[in-house]
Structure 1
Amino acid sequence: MFAMLCALCAMSTTSLAQSRDLVAEGTFTQGVEGPVADKAGNLYAVNFAEQGTIGRVDAQGNAELFVRLPEGSVGNGLRFNSRGQLLVADYTGHNILLIEMDTRTVSVLAHQLQMHQPNDIAISANDIVYASDPDWANNSGQLWMFSPSGEVTLIESGMGTTNGIEVSTDEQYLYVNESVQRRIWRYRLDKTGVPSGKQLFYQFDDFGLDGMRCDSQGNLYVARYGAGQIAVISPQGEWVKTLTLKGQHPTNLAFGGEQGRTLYVTMQQRGAIEALEAEYPGRAFVLSQ
């Protein structure tokens, strides 16, 4: 059985890392989410200045509009696939969108009306996409899988409020958290990428859970909404440390920067993006090299 450590224990020690503002408060809306970094060091996040947009931020913190999504679409989670295309969880349109970075054209990779709202997405090295699908009104959720061609598979329904999601560094597992229930589940991925063998990985006592990312060592970084913290959990399900933030409401996070060790965190109520230096580079940065 994996360790199920309480959040009070995780709060007892914090790291010496200090977050800073990459972009000023109010640059993004309170819907700021889904940070993801490209190989050139640019950071992308949804809802720049207004809902339904994606903004781009360079290494110096200069932010600009990158693309406006089709009418009726609002993005949440973002990920790059192995071809350098940007995938967008469009929660109002029930879509996974695909953006060609050179032309900034937007198309629909997958559409599924049975999704409450595709929220956060994770992607494997072979471009299989996994999406959390919360039903906030009923504190429930679903888990979906999308093939590289857009074929849709429902993995599980009747879950808690599914939110943060990430593939493990060794590609053997899928992590999915439930915000309201404060649980993280771990699934084993088979050779075709199908998750199964669900086990409880970690249980918190307080505060909501949001986005998650893995570093190169397999540690899982978890945004703790309302706590102003990123919890770092080892691959063995043991609390490692807590990273403290300026704001209290982190929604998601991503690794980037020149060495892949800069951790970018989107902050809901501030409409800002904070940054701090991590000990190790992120999983996505290592895969892109």
Structure 2
Amino acid sequence: MKKTILIILALLNASYLFAQKNIFIASDLSKEGEFTSNCEGPAVDKKGNIYAVNIKQDGTIAQITPDGKTSVFLTLPEGSVGNGIRFGSANTFFVADYMQHNVLKVDLQTQKVSVLAHVPAMNQPNDLAIMSNGTIFCSDPNWTASSGQIWKVTQDGKAELLVKDMGTTNGIEVSPDEKILYVNESVQKNVWAFDISPLGTLSNKRLLIKFDDGGMDGMRCDDKGNLYITRHGLGIIDIVSPQGKIIQTVKMKGKLTSNISFGGKDGKTCYVTLQDRKCIETFRSNNAGREWKMMKKFK
């Protein structure tokens, strides 16, 4: 009996060591070339399916099964092109439509697309972050002027400009306790942190980290509060602690990392869109995603 227990413990330890050894190693989920060079916005539903924008042609949204089978889930209304995608409930996700200055709402079951908010004053809504109460934060860069803004959009479609006169705002995310909003500036290479009030306003802007090289695109938090930042052009994901220190760097196969999301059975599988390879790569993390945990509560 004792020998059997020792064997079982040894096997469990070997399995754990194997799992730890294989985290942070990139591999392909979808085939290279299935998306356009504007592939972006991965998000994962409660069943583990992945959604991303611009498969085969711009203006589409793809559905990818956990084993990498791709299909066109829907085509957006004419003239609309999506960027960031975020789930707000088990059967609803939102899309930043940068061509038409919209935040779109999509019913997962009926595939109906409606306009949650149309804001002509937006430059081009880029990426979205969402809180458990449904409040959406939207990055809004002006690439020509190297400037940007942050908007708030409520579930009744009301939009409010929260912060202006920033650099090229791009990746955006909420901390696990929903008290901090992180926003990066791609050209200026800054990541900023703001305090979020109970009313959804922002204050106490401070610099979390500044990079010396490379760009930045989408980013997401794990459940420990670490930020996974796609370093566009460098082909890496930098994992940054809440204190602003790089604690891990994940090398991807492609160079143009555009966005990231968490999924899988335990929430520890990361999905990354690669614009140069026009596909989705994946790797395992040691922590689950913040939004994945939020999704588990959706009915």
TM-score of the two chains, using structure 1 as the length reference: 0.94
Equivalent position to 1:193, from 200, 211, 224: 200
Match of 2:50 in 1: 43
1:268 matches 2:275: yes
Structure 1 unaligned segments of length 5 or more: list them.
1-14
Deviation at 1:180, TM superposition (A): 0.2
1:285 positional shift: 1.1
State the partner residue of 2:253. 246
Counterpart for residue 210 of structure 1? 217
Residue 22 of structure 2 is aligned to residue 22 of structure 1: no
Identity among equivalent pairs (%): 48
Deviation per residue, 1:135-167 (Å, 9 max, x gap): 101111111001111101001111100000000
Letter in 2 for 1:255: F
What is the distance in 2 between the residues matched to 1:231 and 1:57?
Answer: 25
CA deviation after TM superposition for structure 1 residue 17, in Å: 2.3
Alpha-carbon separation, structure 2, partners of 1:193 and 1:237 = 23
- Tell me the equivalent position of 2:66: 59
Determine which structure has greater relative contact order: mean sequence separation of CA pairs < 8 Å that are 6+ residues apart, divided by chain length: 1
- What residue is the counterpart of 1:112 in the other structure? 119
Structure of greater Rg: 2
CA distance in 2, matches of 1:90, 1:64: 20
What is the CA-CA distance between 1:194 and the residue it aligns to? 1.3
Higher deviation after alignment, 75-84 or 228-237: 75-84
Q: Where in structure 2 are there 5+ consecutive unaligned residues?
A: 1-21
Q: Which amino acid aligns with 1:59?
A: P
Q: How does 1:1-289 map to 2 (within 5 A)?
A: 17-82=24-89, 84-289=91-296
Deviation at 1:84, TM superposition (A): 2.9
TM-score, length of structure 2 as denominator length: 0.90
Task: Report SS of the residue matched to 2:250.
Answer: strand
Deviation of 1:62 (Å): 0.3
- Deviation (angstroms), 1:236: 1.4
Indicate conservation of the 8 Å contact 1:82/1:126, yes or no.
no
How far apart in 1 are the matches of 2:132 and 2:155? 11
Pair 1:49–1:105, CA change in 2 (3 A): same
Q: Deviations over 1:92-129 (max 9, x none)?
A: 01000000111000000000011110000100111100
* CA deviation after TM superposition for structure 1 residue 16, in Å: 6.2
Contact 1:82 1:125 in 2 (8 A): no
Large movers: runs of 4+ above 4 Å: none
Name the Cα RMSD after superposition.
1.0
SS in 2 for 1:196: strand
